[in-house]
């Protein structure tokens, strides 16, 4: 397995093996990160594809990337998610839940789970962008605080504070009767 610096060097040469290795290495982590923020499977797949499209576009245009490939990809993922929400606010759409067609779980279970997920997604959307990024990287990616701090360009203490405040804000929003 090659390290990120070597993969990036080879990617600049549009080496298909290096590009495939980057895709294979980062697809699932990016998918988990984006799904933590978005929730819809098909939208997540589209947004992850957009991250890799932007990566290839940057390589083809011969623009330089930082040596931290992981940080760059997650930074682009954060921008792609922000762009997605900006577009959806301008032209809201209602998605159909394909799980409702399934006979396995009861419709009431599906509705309850969807309501809880939607409530959590709404609560997360009320957090600051930095808090959203910290929660997505810490809990969807299971990254240690040190790695999150490096990706976001913040100190470990700042990441801990952002995480603590985000969790406290979520607890207040999702628990009726909780007072600050």
Q: Indicate the pTM of the whole model.
A: 0.57
Asked whether residue 98 is domain-assigned, the answer is no
Q: pLDDT, tens digit, for every residue of 104-162?
A: 666 666 666 666 777 878 888 888 989 988 988 888 888 899 988 988 899 999 999 99
Residue numbers of the domain that contains 41: 1-91
The C-alpha angle 166, 171, 172, rounded to 5 degrees, equals 100
The answer to whether residues 76 and 134 belong to one domain is no
Is a pLDDT exceeding 50 seen at residue 180?
no
DSSP 8-state assignment for residue 153:
T
Q: pLDDT, tens digit, for every residue of 59-114?
A: 888 777 767 888 889 999 999 998 888 887 666 555 555 554 555 666 666 666 66
Examine the fold and report which residue of 91, 113, 147 is the final residue of a domain before the chain moves on. 91
CB 99 within 8 A of CB 110: yes
Question: What is the total count of domains within the chain?
Answer: 2
């Amino acid at each position: 397995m090659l390290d990120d610096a070597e993969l990036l060097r080879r990617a600049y040469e549009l080496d298909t093996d290096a590009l495939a290795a980057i895709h294979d290495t980062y697809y699932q982590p990016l998918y988990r990160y984006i799904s933590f923020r978005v929730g819809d499977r098909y939208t997540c797949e589209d947004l992850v594809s957009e991250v890799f499209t932007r990566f290839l576009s940057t390589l083809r245009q011969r623009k330089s990337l930082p040596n931290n490939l992981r940080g760059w990809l997650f930074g682009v993922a954060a921008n792609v998610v922000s762009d997605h929400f900006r577009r959806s606010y301008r032209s809201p759409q209602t998605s159909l839940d394909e799980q409702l067609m399934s006979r396995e779980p009861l419709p009431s279970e599906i509705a309850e789970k969807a309501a809880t997920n939607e409530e959590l997604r709404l609560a997360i959307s009320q957090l600051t962008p930095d808090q959203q990024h910290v929660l997505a990287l810490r809990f969807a990616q299971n990254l240690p605080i040190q790695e999150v701090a490096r990706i976001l360009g913040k100190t470990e203490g700042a990441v801990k504070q952002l995480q603590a405040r985000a969790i406290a804000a979520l607890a207040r929003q999702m628990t009726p009767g909780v007072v600050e």
